Amino acid sequence: MNLPDHFTDIIRQLLKDQTDAFISSLVEVPPVSLRLNPLKSEGKVSDLPEEGKQVPWSDWGYYLNKRPSFTFDPLFHGGKYYVQEASSMFIEHVVKQLIDKPLKCLDLCAAPGGKSVSLLSALPAGSLLTSNEIIRQRAYILSENITKQGSPTTVVTNNEPKDFAVLQDFYDMILVDAPCSGEGMFRKDDVAISEWSPENVRMCAERQKNILSDIWPALKPGGILIYSTCTYNTLENEVNALWVSDEMHAEFVEIKTEKEWGISPSFDDKVIAYRFFPHKTEGEGLFVTVLRKDGSTVSNSLQHIQKRNKKNRKYPSHLVKEVSTYKRYLINPDDFDFVQDENRIIAVPKQHTETILALKNSLKTISLGIELGEIKGKDFIPSHSLAMSSELNREIFSTRELTYDEAIAYLRREAISIPDSPKGFILLTYRDLPLGFVKNIGNRANNLYPNEWRIRT
C-alpha cells in the first residue's frame, strides 16, 4: 500500500509506537458486516445471509464469516438487512444511551444512508427522522435505502445545510457525519488514498466548520449534536470539535463504552471523543464526538414555520377527507393521516402530520411517510414504498411466493409469468418477505419494480 508520506507523518505523531501495527492493519482484509432491520427481522443469527457474530456495540449489527453476494440476495433488496461497516454502528450505541423519549432528529449528511439506518433502529418509537443529502443523485440513493427499511416516520430531503436556517430551534438531535478526507477508508478505497493531500485536509476542515455553523441554529437549546468523520487527522476532528464547543457554547457529553471494544480516546484533553482505529477495533476508522447545545428553552418553532408557509402560500398538498379507500392498505390505519400530492396518496403518522407538512413546505422533499400509490384514471397503482413498509396490510393483496430464480428475475425487472394467480395487483414475496408488486394480466404480469433500483449486473 502506497501511503502519502505526509499522512504517515501525521499518524506517527498521533499513534507513536502503535504506528507500525496501524499500518499493517491497513493491508488486512476488512471485516464484512451488516445490520439487521428491526422492522423485518427478529435479530436472530438465523436471519443472516452467512454465519456471523454480533458487533459488540450494536444490538442489530453482525460480522459475517465471509462476504456473500449481496446483489444476488433477494432479502437484501427486500430490506431485511443493510450492509454497513461496523464502526459506524457506534451511532446506535450513542443514541440509545442518551435518548429515551421520542424526538425530532436530523441526519444532515446522510447518503447513502448507513447512519440513518442506525438511527432508525435506536430512536425511541414515535420519533421523526429527517434524512438529508445535498447531492441530488445521492439523495435518491438515500431515499431508496430508507424506503427499503420500511419505517413510516422518515422524511428524505435534498438541501444544503444553510436551507435549514428556516427551521430555527427545531431539532432535538442533529447528526453531522461530515464529508471528510476519508483516511479511515484507505483500507477499502484506493481513490481515498490517491485524493488525499494536506490541502484537501485543510479544505475539508473548513467545509466542516461551515456545515456546523450553518446547521447550528436548527438545533434546539439543550439539543444534542453528534459530529463524526471517517478520518484520523486532528484538524478535521478534535480541532473542529473544540471550535464548536468554544464558538457555539456547547459542552461535551460523555458516552459509556466497554474497554474490550478497543475504542481510543481523543488526542486533546479538552475534547471528549471516541476514535476507532483498525489495529485496535474490528472496523474502519471513525471519529465521534457528542455535544450539548447550551440552554433549555422549549421553542415554538413549528408555529413559526407554519406562519411563514402561510405567508408564502405554499401548501400544494392537502389532507384526503374520504379515507376509507386508503385505510385498508395499512395495518394500523387510525394512526395515519392521508395526504394527496398531485396524484399520489401518502400516509403520514398522525402525531407528525403538521411537522411533516411543515418540512415538506420548507425543504426539497424526496420522500416522506409511506407513499401508498398513484391514482391513474380508475386505477390505484400501489407503490413500491407500500410493499416495503412495515405498515403494509398484506391481507388485501393476493400474494405469490417466488423461487430464488423468479425473485432475481423480478429484481432484474424482467417479465414474470404467474398464470395461477388471479388478475390484478399481486404482492410478490421471497421467503415471506415482500419484494414488490406486479400487475397480473393473465398471460404475463407487468413488473412494477422501480426501474432505477433493478439489478443491472
Residue placing its CB nearer to ligand SAM in the complex, 41 or 116: 116
> Is residue 85 a contact residue for ligand SAM (CB under 6 A)?
no
> Is residue 88 a contact residue for ligand SAM (CB under 6 A)?
yes
d(C-alpha 48, C-alpha 54), whole Å: 11
Instruction: Identify the residue among 61, 74, 79, 161 touching ligand SAM (CB under 6 A).
Output: 161
**AA identity, residue 236:** E
Instruction: Identify the residue among 32, 110, 146, 185 touching ligand SAM (CB under 6 A).
Output: 110
CB of 80 to ligand SAM, least distance (A): 18
Contact stretch for ligand SAM (CB under 6 A) within 4-12, 37-45, 134-142, 316-324: 134-142
Q: Among candidates 428, 431, 366, 365, which has minimal Cα distance to 399?
A: 428
> Is residue 115 a contact residue for ligand SAM (CB under 6 A)?
yes
User: Angle 191-192-195 (CA atoms, 0-180°, nearest 5)?
Assistant: 80
Beta strands 61-64 and 128-132, pairing class: unpaired
CB of 327 to ligand SAM, least distance (A): 34
User: Angle 293-298-301 (CA atoms, 0-180°, nearest 5)?
Assistant: 95
CB of 36 to ligand SAM, least distance (A): 17
Cell matching residue 6: 505526509
Residues β-bridged to residue 433: 430
The phi and psi torsions of 35 (rounded to 5 degrees) equal -120, 130
If DSSP codes are grouped into helix, strand and coil, which group holds residue 406?
helix
d(C-alpha 455, C-alpha 71), whole Å: 7
Annotated binding-site positions: 109-115, 133, 177
> Is residue 179 a contact residue for ligand SAM (CB under 6 A)?
yes
Instruction: Identify the residue among 96, 138, 279, 444 touching ligand SAM (CB under 6 A).
Output: 138
Of 105, 180, 204, 230, which residue is the catalytic one?
A: 230
> Is residue 35 a contact residue for ligand SAM (CB under 6 A)?
no
Is the link from the previous residue into 112 a cis peptide, with omega within 30 of 0?
Answer: yes
Contact (Cβ atoms closer than 8 angstroms) between residue 223 and residue 171: yes
d(C-alpha 71, C-alpha 407), whole Å: 12
Residue placing its CB nearer to ligand SAM in the complex, 15 or 89: 89
Between residue 185 and residue 244, which ones bind ligand SAM under the rule CB under 6 A? 207, 211
Catalytic residue list contains 230: yes
Instruction: Identify the residue among 61, 113, 150, 184 touching ligand SAM (CB under 6 A).
Output: 113
CB of 207 to ligand SAM, least distance (A): 6
Q: Which ranges of 313-423 does DSSP label H, i.e. alpha helix?
A: 324-327, 353-362, 384-388, 404-411
CB of 135 to ligand SAM, least distance (A): 4
CB of 328 to ligand SAM, least distance (A): 35
Residue placing its CB nearer to ligand SAM in the complex, 68 or 112: 112
Residue placing its CB nearer to ligand SAM in the complex, 240 or 383: 240
Question: Exposed/middle/buried for 74, CB within 10 Å: 0-12, 13-18, 19+?
Answer: buried
Q: How many CA atoms lie less than 13 Å away from 367 in the CB half-sphere?
A: 27
> Is residue 111 a contact residue for ligand SAM (CB under 6 A)?
yes
CB of 82 to ligand SAM, least distance (A): 9
Contact (Cβ atoms closer than 8 angstroms) between residue 357 and residue 339: yes
Residue placing its CB nearer to ligand SAM in the complex, 4 or 179: 179
> Is residue 89 a contact residue for ligand SAM (CB under 6 A)?
no
Instruction: Identify the residue among 1, 21, 45, 135 touching ligand SAM (CB under 6 A).
Output: 135
CB of 62 to ligand SAM, least distance (A): 17
Annotated binding-site positions for S-adenosyl-L-methionine: 109-115, 133, 177
Residue placing its CB nearer to ligand SAM in the complex, 59 or 160: 160
d(C-alpha 82, C-alpha 369), whole Å: 20
d(C-alpha 130, C-alpha 163), whole Å: 13
How is 288-305 classified by DSSP, letter by letter?
Answer: EEEEEES--PPP-HHHHH
Contact stretch for ligand SAM (CB under 6 A) within 4-12, 75-83, 131-139, 316-324: 131-139
d(C-alpha 229, C-alpha 93), whole Å: 16
Radius of gyration over alpha carbons of the chain, in Å? 23
Helix (H) or strand (E) holding 83: strand 81-83
> Is residue 114 a contact residue for ligand SAM (CB under 6 A)?
yes
Contact stretch for ligand SAM (CB under 6 A) within 50-58, 132-140, 382-390, 428-436: 132-140
Size of the site for ligand SAM (CB under 6 A): 17
User: Looking at the annotation, which residues are catalytic?
Assistant: 230
Interface positions with ligand SAM (CB under 6 A): 88, 109-115, 133-135, 138, 161, 177, 179, 207, 211
